[in-house]
Amino acid sequence: MRRMTTTAAPVLDLDAVRARFPALAQTVVDGADGEVPVVHADAPGGTQVTAGVIAAMTAYLQTMNANSHGCFPASTATDALVEAVRRKVAAFVGGQPEGVVFGANMTTLTWHLSHALDTRVGPGDELLCTRLDHDANVSPWLALAERTGATVRWVALDPVTGRLDLDTIDVSDRTRLVAFPAASNALGTVVDPAPFVAAARSVGALTFCDAVHAAPHVPLDRAAADVDLLACSPYKFFGPHAGVLSADPDLLAELRPDKVRPAPDIGPDRWQTGTAAFEAIAGVGAALDHLAEFGMEAVVAHERTLTRRFLAGVAQLDHVTLHGPAEEHGRTPTFAVTVRGHAPDEVARALAARGVWVWSGDYYAVEPMRALGLADGGGAVRIGFVHYHRLEDVDRVLALLADLDRGA
Ligand SMILES: Cc1ncc(COP(=O)(O)O)c(C=O)c1O
């Protein structure tokens, strides 16, 4: 979302990065090659965490474990921690700390938000969704439309390029919400928020951006992009399982979330149903410290080399089809492939048996899989890298995909 500078990008110290992640030392015994390191190539499903994240969560439980808004030291320390991590999240996604809401995960936060929009949407109104989104940015809006009598319109996905057809961004004075992704968890496509925001602004609609897949790959700036609401999931950016919503504090104050009567009536706490997972919030702070230390520009530059390597390698494999953007720009190092003669599930199992862990199926990206005609064939195999992967990890995946040509 942020404009990148054209000066030379900082180089990522990959050894230093990898040393932070204890899980990257995991090995398995591969029947063919003996003991090999695990390649965690399911980053879009969840990334590994740093030792700092583990330490922060443990320290919280050992020294601060308490509920919020009490008068004793562990409780006031918990409140201070939450505020400190809100500031870090705000710096990471772009926005104000008072607009940061913590939740169980992105899906839960989005459903919660969708209920708060019930009073803003009525019969005959329209909601705009895209065919590129994960279902967490689709189902809550379909349900909102059903509850309120609104209609859902769709932005089409070009199955060849793996990019949204911007000509199908169709809004009217009845449009109340424009929901779009910052990047696709299925195809790796990065989406520019500008046309969605411009369309929404032209008719006074709210914008909601699913930044779950983008967060570990693309610098975000919700406020600069003028997006009203943005959600992401720290477990996809090297933190623990949790969700985060960022919004303008005034908008959060205007909307009416479901809440119990004694819970705070002002501020982001008003949106956090029940007690937050404070130990997870401690971990989120440590994950963001890690990213701030290495810097997103270095992350982006390193991921570009991984992307280039994979795209060049997969282009040599006639029996493997890449679905989604074939060019290295405007995409993350997340690749959906199908392999001639092998079902996606079979490919994922074959790779897992050799220590390469990937996902297969639709990964809840129901609309993209339908648009690409893959829904009835078991979806695709998703291979996803992040900044802690090495070129040799990419090569290993490519070599195993090449092996699958035998017997096809
Ligand atoms: C793009 C995208 N959006 C939303 C979600 C849902 O996130 P969560 O698991 O935090 O509910 C995911 C999870 O895979 C995702 O990849």
185 lines ligand 1 (CB under 6 A): yes
Residue nearest to atom 7 of ligand 1 (CA): 106
- CA of 41 from ligand 1 middle (Å) equals 17
- CA of 233 from ligand 1 middle (Å) equals 7
- CA of 408 from ligand 1 middle (Å) equals 33
134 lines ligand 1 (CB under 6 A): yes
Task: Using most ligand atoms within 8 A of CB, pick from 364, 367, 369, 382 the residue to mutate for ligand 1.
Answer: 364
240 lines ligand 1 (CB under 6 A): no
114 lines ligand 1 (CB under 6 A): no
Domain 14-49+295-403 class in CATH: alpha beta
Which alpha helices (DSSP H) does 248-331 contain, by range? 249-254, 278-294, 296-314
243 lines ligand 1 (CB under 6 A): yes
Ligand 1 atom showing the smallest separation from residue 109 Cα: 11
| Tokens 């990890």 -> residue | 393
Give yes or no for a contact between 220 and 402, defined as CB atoms under 8 angstroms apart: no
Q: What is the pLDDT of residue 408?
A: 43
Give yes or no for a contact between 195 and 207, defined as CB atoms under 8 angstroms apart: no
- Alpha-carbon gap, residue 177 to 184, rounded angstroms: 19
| Tokens 């919004």 -> residue | 247
Ligand 1 atom showing the smallest separation from residue 183 Cα: 1
Phi, psi (5° rounding) for residue 88?
-65, -45
Kind and range of the H or E run holding 129 = strand 126-130
Q: Which fold has domain 53-292?
A: Aspartate Aminotransferase; domain 2 (3.40.640)
Give yes or no for a contact between 257 and 264, defined as CB atoms under 8 angstroms apart: no
- Quote the pTM value: 0.96
- CA of 177 from ligand 1 middle (Å) equals 20
215 lines ligand 1 (CB under 6 A): no
Answer yes or no: same fold for 14-49+295-403 and 53-292: no
207 lines ligand 1 (CB under 6 A): no
138 lines ligand 1 (CB under 6 A): no
Kind and range of the H or E run holding 185 = none
Phi, psi (5° rounding) for residue 129?
-120, 170
Per-residue pLDDT of the chain (408 residues; tens, 9 = 90+): 655 455 677 899 999 999 999 999 999 988 778 899 999 999 999 999 999 999 999 999 999 999 999 999 999 999 999 999 999 999 999 999 999 999 999 999 999 999 999 999 999 999 999 999 999 999 999 999 999 999 999 999 999 999 999 999 999 999 999 999 999 999 999 999 999 999 999 999 999 999 999 999 999 999 999 999 999 999 999 999 999 999 999 999 999 999 999 999 999 999 999 999 999 999 999 999 999 999 999 999 999 999 999 999 999 999 999 999 999 999 999 999 999 999 999 999 999 999 999 999 999 999 999 999 999 999 999 999 999 999 999 999 999 999 999 654
Task: Using most ligand atoms within 8 A of CB, pick from 236, 284, 331, 367 the residue to mutate for ligand 1.
Answer: 236
- CA of 76 from ligand 1 middle (Å) equals 32
Question: Which class for 62: exposed (0-12), middle (13-18), buried (19 or more C-beta within 10 A)?
Answer: exposed
Phi, psi (5° rounding) for residue 187?
-110, -15
The secondary structure of residue 140, as a DSSP letter, is: H
367 lines ligand 1 (CB under 6 A): no
Q: What is the pLDDT of residue 9?
A: 74
According to DSSP, the residues that pair with 42 across neighbouring strands are 384
Task: Using most ligand atoms within 8 A of CB, pick from 42, 105, 106, 230 the residue to mutate for ligand 1.
Answer: 106
Concatenating the DSSP letter of every residue in 345-374 gives HHHHHHHHTTTEE-EEE-TT-HHHHHHTT-
Ligand 1 atom showing the smallest separation from residue 235 Cα: 10
Going from N- to C-terminal start, the domains of the chain cover 14-49+295-403, 53-292
187 lines ligand 1 (CB under 6 A): no
- CA of 157 from ligand 1 middle (Å) equals 19
